[in-house]
Structure 1
Amino acid sequence: MLSANQALRGCAVTNREARWRHAGRGFFDLDGLRIPANEGVRLLPIAGGKSGTVVAVTTVRGRTAIQLQAFHVSAGRSWDSVRLELLARIRRDGGTAEEVIGPSGSGIQARVPVVTPGGEQKVMDVRFVGRDGPGWLLRGTVSGAGAAPGSAEAWPCEVFDETAVKSTALIAPDSLAMELQWPPGEATN
C-alpha cells in the first residue's frame, strides 16, 4: 500500500528545497525535463534511492497535481509495455485499473489503496499517462481533483504534452530514472 505522501514507489518529497514557484510564462529547465512554467504552479522535487538524487517533480496547481518522471529505456521498451505492467501491478496490489484514451493518448484510470499520514486506509483516484521516444519514456501521474473519473480538467494533460525530455540526462544511481537538476534553472522561453 502506498503512503498518501508518496506518488512514486520508493521516493519521497525531499526536504532540501521544498517548493519552487513561478508566476510567468516559459519553461522550468531541470536538465532532464523541461516543464511549462504556467502562472500559479508550484514544483515539488521527488528524491529517490540512497543518494537522494531528484528523479521526479510534482507540478501542482490548485487541487490537481501531475508528477513527471523520465526514464532511460532499452530498445523495445515502450509506454505500451510499461502501461500493461502498471495495470497488472495496481490490480495485484489491491487497486482497480482500466485502460483509457484521453487527450494525451492511452493511459490508465485507477483507484489505489493508500495510507494517510494519520494511518488511515483510503482509496485514491490516480490517472497515469505516458509517452516514449528513442531511449526514453516519460510517465505522468495525475492526482487530486484532475484524476477523478470523468474529470474534464485539461491542465495536467497540457503540462504533460508540453514537457520535453532531454534523453542525454544522467541516470540516477541504482535506477533507470533520469536525474533532474534542483533547484530548477530560471524559466526560459
Structure 2
Amino acid sequence: MAFGRLRKNKQEQDTNDDARSDEEDAGAIAEAPASGPYDVADKPSEEGYVDLGALRIAAAEGLQLRLEVEEKTQRVVAVTLDLNGSSLQLQAFAAPRSDTLWDDIRGQIGKSVGSQGGTVDELEGVFGTELLAKVPAQAQDGSKGFRVARFVGVDGPRWFLRGVFGGPAAMDPAAAGPLEEVFRNVVVVRGEQPLPPRDLLQLRLPRDSSPLPRPGGATSDRPAPPERGPEISTIG
C-alpha cells in the first residue's frame, strides 16, 4: 500500500512538473520577440531582400538606399535608408559569443554626445532600451538649435546591429512606424570568419544596381538604385 501511494504521488508530481514545464515554455514563447531583426539562420531566404553582404534589407514602397563609404579606404561602412522624409542608418558589428555590446555602447554614445555639448536620454522603446540624443546645431537661418537622433541596438548571435533614426522618425512615433518595420525585417549575415568584437561586418554593393522592388516583386514607381554617401564615423 505504501508503495502504491508513493507511486501515485510520483505520478502526480510528474504531472505537476509537466504542467509547470508547459507553462514555462508558454511563458518563454510569449516573451520571445515576435519579429526581428533576424539572424540569417532564422530567415535564410533572400526573396524580397536587397543583399548588401552583412545586411539584407527588405523591400518597401518608396524606400531609398544610400551606401556610406569611408573616403580614405573606400570601404562601405554603413547603409542609410530614406523613407517619407526620415532616415535610418544601419551598421552591423561582430560581437562575442557569450556577451552583449549594447549596454557598453550606450555609454560610449552618451560620452560622445556629451563631449559635443549635447544631451542623451535613455528610454524604453519598441526595441528595448534606446537613446534619444540632442546635439547643438545651427539652423539654416543661423539660429541655434539641436540635431536629434534616436539610437537603437539589438544584440544577436555573435553580432550587434545599431540603428540611428533621423528626421521626424527620431521624435514622432507615427513617423517612425514605417522605418521601424524596415528595421524589424533586417537580416544580419554574420558569417563564420573570426573577427574581434566591434569590428564592422563587411557591407558591399548589391550584386546589381536594380532599384528596390516593391513587396511581391513589382518595381517601385520611384526607382532608387544604391548610391554612395559621405564618410561617417564608426563606434568603438
Which TM-score band (shorter chain)? 0.7 to 0.9
Q: How far, CA to CA, are the matches of 1:179 and 1:171 in structure 2?
A: 13
Instruction: Report the equivalent of 2:170.
Output: 147
Q: Does 1:99 align with 2:122?
A: yes
Instruction: Report the equivalent of 1:36.
Output: 58
Aligned residue identity for 1:112:
V
Does structure 1 retain, via aligned residues, the 8 Å contact 2:88–2:165? yes
* Percentage of matched positions with identical amino acids: 33
Query: What TM-score do the two structures reach when normalised by structure 1?
Result: 0.73
Q: Which ranges in structure 1 are unaligned for 5 or more consecutive residues?
A: 1-24
**Greater shift after overlay, 90-99 or 69-78?**
69-78
Q: How far, CA to CA, are the matches of 1:100 and 1:57 in structure 2?
A: 25
Task: Specify the SS of the correspondent of 2:173.
Answer: coil
**Alpha-carbon offset, residue 84 of structure 1:** 2.0
* Correspondence for 1:124 among 109, 126, 147: 147
User: How far does the alpha carbon of each residue in 1:34-70 deviate from its partner, in whole angstroms, 9 at most, with x for none?
Assistant: 1111010100000126211112100101111100010
Instruction: Report the equivalent of 2:160.
Output: 137
Instruction: Report the equivalent of 1:179.
Output: 202
Q: Does 1:57 align with 2:79?
A: yes
Does structure 2 retain, via aligned residues, the 8 Å contact 1:44–1:58? yes
| Residue-pair matches, total | 162
Which structure has the greater CA radius of gyration? 2
Q: Which ranges in structure 2 are unaligned for 5 or more consecutive residues?
A: 1-46, 217-236
Larger helix percent? 2
* CA 167–47 in structure 1, closer or farther in 2 if over 3 Å, else same: same
